[in-house]
Structure 1
Amino acid sequence: MSKHALIIIDIQNDYFPGGKWTLDGADRAADNAASILAATRSKGDLVVHVRHESESSDAPFFTPGSNGAQIHPKVTPLANEPVVLKHKVNAFLNTELKTVLDQHEIEAVTVIGSMSHVCIDAFTRAAADFGYNATVIHDACATRDLEFNGVSVPAAQVHAAYMASLAFAYAQVISTTDYLAGNTRDAAI
């Protein structure tokens, strides 16, 4: 049986309606995240919150000290749950995240949060490279429409492309329903 941690990445106010960088389906993803968080807490597994804050007050979102950079109330950390502050896309880069996981002898991680195509992707790939058994709960993650080279890509397609890529080589990618029902590769999760 492996030691498991839930990693909640960047479920922060700026991503919700009224915020500076609204994501498609942020509320729905956060509701699923809240269900996963409650189940994880009831099992006594480690929960680690990751909060992104820009280093510049000129940033388009998550500006230092702003309400938008705060963790959304749907997934408010408990006093005993670590909150890792990051300034880069990859939650492991220049943070204490790896140290926290190692101190708890974590072997398996489940990730939820935002944005699917950036921070969730970067965390999951790095976690796999570090040897963690990774699971992504796809409907507890959110993203937004993108544009590249004159091509508009709807959020649903952005999300699907990144989840397909992660599922191919980096993680088990499943729904909230399957996760809560225990339909995972790792019985410890």
Structure 2
Amino acid sequence: MKRALIVIDVQNEYFTGNMKIEYPPVGVTLPNITRAMDAAQAAGIPVVVVQHDAPEQSPIFAKGSQAWQVHEEVAKRPSSHFINKTYASVFTGTDLGQWIADNGIDTLTIVGYMTHNCDASTIYEASHKGLSVEFLSDATGSPSYENAAGKASAEEIHRVFSTVFHSGFAAVASTDAWLAAVDEGKALERDNIYLSVQRTLK
């Protein structure tokens, strides 16, 4: 097993901009993101920092704006690779796939934002590419949504996506559990679709 920590879109937009993360709160998730980065650095796990770019006139992630900037707590920490992206998945239109191949990576640990969007897109694509994926549920998060299809709280979105991820796409765990797994050189275990459904029928 060779891990890489993928730090997705930890940008000011989610803290002080128009897309504030609500659940888990950033007071919890940001310290866990930086803990994971520090532990990865100490363990020799490469860290990939990702920044989302939008056009300068965009209401969110406008390139060059303060909201677009990577949060200072992430920016001040070392990384092995830096990626700018314009799509939800970190794979799309970037060199992540080639970087993974070049570095012999077989396991991606996902932290950052948002659980249901860029994290989800990256998790699904990584899984389809045959990579193992880990998702740190207390180092990621969501805002609430409302549109013509319905309304969902940040807690609902984060919880439901985390549950779906753990059914086979990714091993979902706390930062503490991941740190212990790193110390022990072990992989985190994911569940499967069959058992995830069967437990609801009892």
TM-score (norm 2): 0.86
| 8 A Cα contact 1:6 1:111, kept in partner | yes
Task: Specify the structure having the higher radius of gyration (Cα).
Answer: 2
Structure 1 residues 162 and 188, CA gap change in structure 2 (3 angstroms): closer
Cα shift at 1:184: 10
Q: Which residue of 1 aligns with 2:110?
A: 111
Cα distance in structure 2, aligned partners of 1:171 and 1:67: 32
CA contact (8 A) 1:178 1:184 kept: no
- Going from structure 1 to structure 2, the CA distance change for 1:186 and 1:82 (only over 3 Å counts) comes to same
CA spacing shift, 1:101–1:183, aligned 2, 3 Å: closer
Deviations along 1:105-138, one digit per CA (max 9) or x if unpaired, are 1011100000011000000011111111100001
Deviation at 1:150, TM superposition (A): 6.0
Q: Is the counterpart of residue 87 in structure 1 residue 86 in structure 2? A: yes
For residues 59-78 of structure 1, what are the structure 2 equivalents within 5 Å? 59-76=58-75, 78=77
Q: Are 1:3 and 1:188, in contact at CA under 8 Å, matched by a contact in 2?
A: no
SS state at 2:127 partner: helix
Count of residues paired in the alignment: 186
Give the Cα separation in 2 of the matches to 1:22 and 1:188.
32
- Measure, in 1, the Cα distance between the counterparts of 2:76 and 2:110: 15
Secondary structure of residue in 2 paired with 1:67:
coil
| Aligned position for 2:20 | 22
User: Gapped runs of 5+ residues in structure 1?
Assistant: none
Report sequence identity in percent: 26
Q: By how many angstroms is 1:57 displaced?
A: 2.0
Amino acid at match of 1:28: V
Are 2:123 and 1:129 equivalent residues in the alignment? Answer: no
Question: d(CA) in 2 for partners of 1:163 and 1:101?
Answer: 24
Cα distance, 1:4 vs. partner? 1.0
Does residue 180 of structure 1 match 2:179? yes
* Cross-structure match for 1:51: 51
Select the structure that is richer in helix.
2
Closer, same or farther in 2 for the Cα pair 1:63/1:45, shift >3 Å?
Answer: same
1:61 counterpart letter in structure 2: I
Q: Deviations over 1:81-119 (max 9, x none)?
A: 211000011110010111111111101110000001100
TM-score, L = length of structure 1: 0.91
Gaps of 5+ in 2: 189-202
Match of 2:42 in 1: 42
Give the structure 2 partner of residue 5 of structure 1: 4
Q: Provide closer, same or farther for how the CA distance between residues 94 and 11 of structure 1 changes in structure 2, counting only shifts above 3 A.
A: same
1:150/1:101 Cα in 2 relative to 1: closer, same or farther (>3 Å)?
A: closer
CA displacement 1:115-172 (0-9 Å, x = unmatched): 0110000000111111111000011001100124363211000100111111112010
Tell me the alpha carbon deviations over residues 11-65 of structure 1, each in whole angstroms, 9 at most, x when there is no partner: 101100x2232111123211111111111100011110111011x2222211011
**Matched residues in 2 for 1:184 and 1:125: separation?**
27
Could you tell which deviates more after superposition, 23-32 or 2-11?
Answer: 23-32
